[in-house]
Structure formats: C-alpha cells, structure tokens
Amino acid sequence: MPKINYKSNEFLVFLVIVAFVIVATASYPGFFSIPTLFDLLRNGIVIGIFAIGVLLVLISGGIDVSFTAVAVFALFTTTLTVKQLGLDLPWPLVFLVSVLIGMGLGLINAVFIAGFRLPTLIVTLGTLSALRGFLLTFVGSQLISNVPPSMQQFSRLVIVRGTNAQGFFYSLPWAFAFLVGVVVLTWFLLTRTLLGRNIFAIGGSLESARRIGINVRLTQVFVYAYVGGLAGLAGIIHASMARVANPFDLVGLELSVIAATVLGGARLSGGYGTITGTLLGVILIVMVNNSLILLGIPSTWQSVVIGALILLGTGLPSYQAKRAARKAG
C-alpha cells in the first residue's frame, strides 16, 4: 500500500475539498446529492482536459496561456468549415479536424519556443492575442447556433441518466469518456515512456537535459503540439455540448485552469507535477465556480477565491521548501 504524504499538495487539496463539501452540505442540504455530483463531473470535462495539457507544459518548465484561444479558434474554424462546405461528417471526424487544427496552432508556439528559444510566456501571450484579434476582426460576435447534425448527435449521447428520489434529473454525457481517455493516455506518457522522463528532465534542468543527450527541441515540439491537440479537443467538445460555436466562449478560463494545476502541486519552475494532484485541483476549482452562487455568495467573489487559491498553491510549496532547506542546513 503506497505511503500517504500528509504534507503534499495533493493531500492538502483533498482535505480542502472534504471541508468544502461539509460546509456546503451544512449550508445547503441538497448539495451532497447525485445530481450535484453529476453536474460537477459534467462541468469538469473541458477544464479537466485543459488542465492536463497545462500540467504537461508546467512539468516541461514552460507556461502556456494560449490554450483557450487555440480551443476557440479550432472549434469555430472546424464548425464553420463543415457548415460552409456542407460536409456530412460523423462527429469523430469533426473532432479529429479540430484536434489537428489545435495541433497546428500548438506547433506555431513550438517554432518560437523550441526553434528560436523565446520565453514561453511571451510566445503564448502573443499567440493568445493574435488568435483573439483575428477572431474579433474577421468574425466579430457572429455565432453559429445551428451546429452540424453530428455535433448535435454527440451532445445527446449519455453514459447514464436518471432521476433521484426528490425528482431531480441527472445525466453524465459521453464527453466524460474523453476526459478519462486523456487522463489515461497522459498518465501512461508521463510515467511509462522515455518521452515522459525527458519532459520531466527538461523541466528540472534544461541545460542538464541537453548534456545527457536529450533532444530538448523535439521534446518541446511534442509538448506544445500535444497541448494544442488537447485544446482543440476540449474546444470542439465544449461547442458540441453547448450546441453553439461562439468565438468568445472560454475567454478568461485560463486563470481557473492554471489555478487547478498549481493547486495540484505542479511547480511553475518545472520538473514536477502529478495527474492525481491536477484532477484534485480541477475538482476544487469546479466546486468553487459552481457552488458559490448556490451558497448565496455573489459570483464576483469567484475571482477573489481563485486568486487566493493560486497564492496558497504556489506559496505553500515554496514555504515548505525553504523550511526543509533551513532544517537541512
């Protein structure tokens, strides 16, 4: 049986989640119920896929703030192309197109980061601004409310549905299976492959990774292409579930996603991060975003709470590291 690290971010976030559930249930007895649980799972699909991608970037020693812009560009471009050309594509092919567009945009980031060795934050900020500016200029506030039939079909696919004893309806869409697939694939990549070890290595020390023969540039190209693909997937899932392609959806979600990943223990300095911690962070952020109004707290406090959680998630590991260094000294 694995030993539990009671000082780890993962365990602390788990305790915060338990405390939040207890307080929320005491304030609103209907909070701890199957419909609420399924709502949280459904609302965590897109942010969860985003967070797994951000985790990979943070482990590699970088930071990416362009993933929402990549997602929106991919979802809108895919939907518009399928509609304009009158293509009757099944939803798996529609999803594949969006993923490929996302990967292409991720490769643009990779060219500047791996090829020209520019700072990751500057590059992804530039990509974020360029993509949003492009959509604002050529699309504006235009919506595609009548998405292709295959996307509408996907939105109706559910793993389970039902009604609880109080008469409240609940369901879990098949989109949740994509989150599970992304988690399993990324876990395998990070823990069972040489490429995964290389990603951790370049995040720990870029120069040391070069000296031991790791192809740093190729590894970075993979990371940003992979993250772009996940963004394209998250975007098209979001559009399918909402049944509308909005060029300004997902704007501002970057803060919540980065907060979830950092809370889970991923270090902004690189070289460390876990799938378990990231998923716990996603659960906490989704609970905060979806439960404050339910508890009678104004939605304007969401940013305050998330900002505080980011400070806690980054400050606590730093404090623990300094404390351990003092004891060792």
The tokens for 55 are: 């985790």
* 186 vs 189: CA distance, rounded Å: 5
What tens digit of pLDDT does each residue of 255-310 get?
889 989 998 889 888 999 999 999 999 999 998 887 776 666 776 777 787 778 77
Mean model confidence pLDDT for the chain: 90
Answer whether residue 127 is part of any domain: yes
28 in any annotated domain: no
Q: Please check whether residue 129 lies inside any domain of the structure.
A: yes
pLDDT tens string 107-142: 999 999 999 999 999 999 999 999 999 998 988 878
Instruction: With respect to residue 128, please indicate whether it lies within any of the assigned structural domains.
Output: yes
Q: Could you tell me if residue 238 is inside a domain?
A: yes
> What's the pLDDT at 159?
93
Q: Which domain holds residue 225?
A: 33-251+268-273
Residue 213 lies in a domain: yes
Domain annotation covers residue 195: yes
When divided into structural domains, the chain yields a total of: 1
pLDDT of residue 3: 64
Are the CB atoms for 44 and 106 separated by under 8 Å? no
- What is the percent of the chain with per-residue pLDDT over 70, rounded to a whole number? 95
> According to the model, what pLDDT value does residue 321 have?
67
Predicted confidence (pLDDT) at residue 25 exceeds the cutoff of 80? yes
Task: Flag whether 298 is in a domain.
Answer: no
Give the tokens for residue 56. 């990979």
